[in-house]
Amino acid sequence: MEFGSFAEFHIREGRDLAGSFREGFSHVDEAERLGLDAVWLSESHFNPTRSVLSSPLSVASAIASRTERIKIGTAVSILPLGNPLRTAEEVATIDHVSNGRFEFGVGRSGLPGSYEGYNFSYAESRERFHEYLDIILTAWQNERFSYQGKFFSYDDVCLIPKPFQTPHPPIRIATTSTDTFDTMGKMGFPIFIGVRTLSLEQVAEQVGVYKRAWESSGHEGKIDISIRVPVYVAPTKEEALSEPRESFMKQFRRIGGALARSVASAGADPRDLRRQRSEHLAAVDWEEGVIGNKAIVGTPEMVIDQIRAMKETLNLSALVAEFNAGELIPEDKISRSLRLMCEEVIPAFK
């Protein structure tokens, strides 16, 4: 099983923006030293209380230059907000700078806020996502190509550079709605999942849809599922259960509020489903509903047990840990949690 860190380059109250970048790069450097498998970069726009990562591909290039071993990925690059050929060029360049350590995680974002800031139509996001991804893959896999789409058209274009990895960096797609699980299974893409807005049992049902679609389509190999989940590891049970509570619960309440506000947005998931997910998060209980279900929290031994249970239930191949979900956990506690994760938890799965 592979383990990574979800790096958000979060903003802390009272600290300048340069400090957010310093802390983010320090976390990546420590993850490299401790032997973590991967670091995954978020993408966040127009959110001055949360994150400075509006340009994850730029940060990925910087990380590639300062590290030698750790894999670098996006979690996720919001494809419809960019230009597909420009994105293809930048990703191929990062793949070379990192000597093939890059993994391209992509999605369209489950919330319309970024689209509204750019004055883009969220209602078009699904169509745009599939066209953009098709263009990127076509550009990477052909010496020259022409393309006629709904949003973009190209005539006899040669993309340079082509990626370092052949035929291209691994692509992993963020998946939340049940119909998307079926689509990604049929297409044979590895996926990102989460357990933030649904119960563990409901996500397990979605994974079943993905697995059946994968198998019925005749894809070779095993399904490949990575989960993004808040993680906190501490030396004692008391510290583990109390220290991340305020921060993690802030994250869940924030997501619930964003879902509630997006109910009427064109192009969003069905209104009733968004309302249901929002109400679910508003009522979730820390000890009964979060620990072991929506977050992995405890001593190293407790965390090992929770990961094993989640791995079996969801057929996981990788876990991406949010060490500071909610942005309130002190830097030294994040560092301790990362160290315990790398030294005492991950070896149980290798």
320 bridge partner residues:
4, 228
Q: How many CB atoms lie within 10 A of CB 101?
A: 22
Q: Which residues contact 292 (CB under 8 A, 6 or more apart)?
A: 306, 309, 310
Type of residue found at 348: A
Q: Are 179 and 189 in contact (CB under 8 A)?
A: no
Single-letter amino acid code for the residue at 56: P
Indicate the SS3 state at residue 230: strand
Instruction: Say how far apart CA 115 and CA 119 lie, in whole Å.
Output: 6
At residue 155, does pLDDT exceed 90? yes
Average pLDDT over residues 74-101: 97
Architecture of domain 2-349: Alpha-Beta Barrel (3.20)
pLDDT surpasses 70 at 65: yes
Q: Is 317 helix (H, G, I), strand (E, B) or coil?
A: coil
Residues in the chain: 350
Pairwise CA distance, residues 254 & 329, whole Å: 16
Q: Could you tell me the two tokens for 55?
A: 């340009």
Residue 123, Cα to own-chain centre: how many angstroms?
A: 22
Return phi, psi of residue 118, to 5°. Answer: -85, -5
> pLDDT for 283-301, tens place per residue?
788 988 899 999 999 999 9
Secondary structure (3-state) at 144: coil
* Coil vs helix vs strand at 305: helix
Return the domain boundaries, the chain. 2-349
For 63, the token pair is 């990380």
Total-model pTM: 0.94
In the structure, what pLDDT confidence band is assigned to residue 111 with cuts at 50, 70 and 90?
confident
Cis peptide before 76 (omega within 30 of 0): yes
Q: Which amino acid does the sequence have at 172?
A: R
pLDDT tens digits, one per residue of 202-227: 999 999 999 999 999 999 899 999 99
Q: How confident is the model at residue 266 (pLDDT cuts 50, 70, 90)?
A: low
